[in-house]
Structure 1
Amino acid sequence: MSMSAVKEKSKQKMPASFPVRRMDYEFQDMPKYWCNNESTFTHYFTGLSTLFPEGESYFVRSVRALRENIKNNPQLDRDIGAFIGQEAMHSKEHHAFHVSAQQYGLDPESLEKATGIILKAIERTFPKKWNLLVTVGLEHYTAVLVVEMMKNVNQLMTDKTIRDLWLWHSVEETEHKAVAYDMYEYLYGRGLDAYIPRVAIFTFSLVLITLISNTYQFVLMSRDRQLLNLKSWAKFAGFTLQAYRKLVPQFFSYYRFDFHPNDTDESEIVAQTKVKIGLAPEQSTFIH
C-alpha cells in the first residue's frame, strides 16, 4: 500500500472530537409561557431561538466556504464536519419548536425569515474571512450564554421538552465552541493582522445580535398584547441585570490578544447536564 493510501485510510478512521446526535423533540403540548411563567422571559428566549435556524445555516456556509483550505489538517477537517452536523440539527429542532409555537398566533417563523434576510445580506457583502469571523465571534457569544443556561436559566423553564432542547443545544455548543476559532487561526494565524479583524467583527456581531434579539422580544410582546405588562418587564429587568454582571466580562475576554475558546473548562457542568437530559454514555465526549 502506498504512503498516500495509508494516510487516507488513517484519515478516514480518525473520529471527530465530539459526536453528532439526532434529536426529534415534540413540542405540541408546550404552555404559552414556558419560561418563569412570564411573557417577557418566554418571548426573550423565543426571540433568541428564532436566530438559530438561519443563523446556524449561515455558520455552516461560512466554514464550508473555506473548508477546502484546511484539508491537510485531518483532525480539524473531521471536527468541522461534526460542527456542520451539530449545527444542522440545531436548526432543525429550533425550527420545529417555532412551528409548534404558531398555535399561540405569534408567528415566530416570520422572525426566522427576517433573520435570514439580514444574514444573507451580510454574507453577500462580507468577504469569506469576515463571514468566518462573524461565526467565530458568535460562537464565543453563544458559548458564554450556554454555560449560564446549563447552570441556572434552565431551572426557569417549566416545560421539560423545551428545557431539554436548550440543554442539549448548550452541551453541543460547548463541545464545538473552538472549531470555527481553530479554523480561523489555522488559516490566518495569531498575529496582529489576524487579531484586529477578529475583534472588529466581534464588536459588530455583538451589537447586531443584541439589537436583533431585543427587537424580536419586543415584537413578540407586542403580538401577544403584553407590551405594557410592566410587572413582567420589571422581573425580566432584574434577571437581565443579574445575568449580565456575570456574562459581560466573559464576552469581553474575546478581546484578549491571546484569547482561545478552550481557556475555560466546562466539562463538569456539561457532564451534569448530560445526566439531567438523559444523553446516553456512548454519546458523551470530552471538552478539548
Structure 2
Amino acid sequence: MSMLVVKEKLKQKMPASFPVRRMDYQFQEVPKYWCNNEPTFTHYFTGLSTLFPEGESYFVRSVRALREKIKNNPQLDRDIGAFIGQEAMHSKEHHAFHVSAQQYGLAPESLEKATGIILKAIEKTFPKKWNLLVTVGLEHYTAVLVVEMMKNVNELMTDTNIRNLWLWHSIEETEHKAVAYDMYESLYGKGLDAYIPRVAIFTFNLVLITLLSNVYQVVLMSRDKQLLNLKSWAKFAGFTVHVYRKLVPQFFSYYHFDFHPNDTDESEIVTKTKIKIGLSTEQSTFMH
C-alpha cells in the first residue's frame, strides 16, 4: 500500500474537533414578550436572531470559497466541515423560530431577507480574503456575546425552547470559534499584511452589526406599536450599559497583534450549559 493511500485512509478516520448536532426545536405557544417580559428585550434578541440565517449562510460560503487551499491541513479541513454543519443547523433553527414563534404580525422573515440582500452585496464587492475576514471578525464578536448569554442573559428568557435554542447555539459558537481564524492564519500568515486587513474589516463589522441590530430592534418595536414605550426602553438601556461595559474590552482584544480566539477558555461555562439543556450525555453525530 502506497504512503499516499495510507495518508488518505488516516485522513478519512480523523474526526472533527467538535460535533454537528441535529436539532429540531418546536416553537409553539410562544409568549409575545419572551425575554424579560419586555418588548425592548424581546425585539432586540429577535432582531439579532434575524441576522443568523443569512449571516451564517454567508459564513459558510466564505469558507467554502477558499477551502480547497487548505486541503494539506486535514484536521483544519475536517473542522471546517463541522463548522459548515453547525452553521447550517443554526440557520435552519433560527429560521424555524422566525416562522413559527412569531405569531404577532411582526414579520421577522422580512428582516432575514434584508440581511441577505446586504450580505450578498458585500460578498460581490469584497474579494474572497475580505469575505473570510468578515466571517473571522463576526465569529469573534459572536463568541464574546455567547459567553454572556450562557452566564446571565438566558435567565431572562421565559420560554424554554427559545432559551434552549440560544444556549445550544452559544455552546457551538464556542466550539468552532477558532476555525475561520485558523483558516485565515493558515492562508495569510501572522504578519502585518495579515493583521492590517484583519482589524480594518473588524472595524467595518462592528459598525455593520451595531447598525443592523439596533435598526431591526426599532423596526420590530414600531411594528408592535411599542416604539414610544419609554419605560421599556429605559430598562433596556440600563441592561445594555451593564452588559456592554463587560463586553467592549473583550471585543477589542481582537485588535491585539497576537490575538487568537483560543486565548480565552469557556470550557467551564460550556459544561454547565450542556447540563442545563440536557447535552451533558449527548450522542453527537460528527461530520465525516
TM-score with structure 2 length normalisation?
0.98
Between the aligned partners of 1:204 and 1:69, the Cα distance in structure 2 is 26
Deviations 1:228-275 (A, max 9, x none): 000000000000000000000000000000000000000000000000
Contact kept in structure 2, 1:35 and 1:42, CA below 8 Å: yes
Residue number in structure 1 paired with 2:252? 252
Unpaired stretches in structure 1, ≥5 consecutive residues: none
Residue number in structure 2 paired with 1:207? 207
Structure 1 counterpart of 2:138, one-letter code: L
Between the aligned partners of 1:171 and 1:64, the Cα distance in structure 2 is 23
Residue number in structure 2 paired with 1:107? 107
Between the aligned partners of 1:4 and 1:229, the Cα distance in structure 2 is 66
Residue number in structure 2 paired with 1:39? 39
Residue number in structure 2 paired with 1:61? 61
List aligned pairs for 1:66-145, cutoff 5 A. Answer: 66-145=66-145
Between the aligned partners of 1:168 and 1:93, the Cα distance in structure 2 is 10
Q: CA deviation at 1:284?
A: 7.5
List aligned pairs for 1:191-206, cutoff 5 A. Answer: 191-206=191-206
Structure 1 counterpart of 2:76, one-letter code: L
Residue number in structure 2 paired with 1:7? 7
Between the aligned partners of 2:192 and 2:214, the Cα distance in structure 1 is 33
TM-score with structure 1 length normalisation?
0.98
Q: CA deviation at 1:281?
A: 2.2
Between the aligned partners of 1:29 and 1:124, the Cα distance in structure 2 is 40
Between the aligned partners of 1:123 and 1:243, the Cα distance in structure 2 is 31
Structure 1 counterpart of 2:235, one-letter code: K
Instruction: List structure 1 segments (4+ residues) > 3 angstroms apart after TM superposition.
Output: 282-285
Matched, 1:186 2:186: yes
Structure 2 counterpart of 1:174, one-letter code: T
Q: CA deviation at 1:102?
A: 3.8
Between the aligned partners of 2:284 and 2:199, the Cα distance in structure 1 is 33
Between the aligned partners of 2:46 and 2:217, the Cα distance in structure 1 is 8
Contact kept in structure 1, 2:102 and 2:108, CA below 8 Å: yes
Structure 1 counterpart of 2:179, one-letter code: V
List aligned pairs for 1:224-239, cutoff 5 A. Answer: 224-239=224-239
Between the aligned partners of 2:275 and 2:282, the Cα distance in structure 1 is 12
Matched, 1:171 2:175: no
Contact kept in structure 2, 1:83 and 1:179, CA below 8 Å: yes
Contact kept in structure 1, 2:76 and 2:179, CA below 8 Å: yes
Higher RCO, 1 vs 2 (CA within 8 Å, ≥6 residues apart):
2
Contact kept in structure 1, 2:21 and 2:284, CA below 8 Å: no
Q: CA deviation at 1:103?
A: 1.1
Identity of aligned residues (%): 89
Deviations 1:74-114 (A, max 9, x none): 00000000000000000000000000134111000000000
Residue number in structure 2 paired with 1:50? 50
Deviations 1:45-92 (A, max 9, x none): 000000000000000000000000000000000000000000000000
* Matched pairs, number: 285
Between the aligned partners of 2:283 and 2:140, the Cα distance in structure 1 is 23
Deviations 1:209-229 (A, max 9, x none): 000000000000000000000
Over the aligned positions, Cα root-mean-square deviation in angstroms equals 1.0
Residue number in structure 1 paired with 2:16? 16
Contact kept in structure 2, 1:138 and 1:205, CA below 8 Å: yes
Between the aligned partners of 1:284 and 1:152, the Cα distance in structure 2 is 26
Q: CA deviation at 1:283?
A: 4.6
Helix, strand or coil: the match of 1:104? coil
Deviations 1:161-196 (A, max 9, x none): 000000000000000000000000000000000000
Structure 2 counterpart of 1:56, one-letter code: E
Residue number in structure 2 paired with 1:243? 243
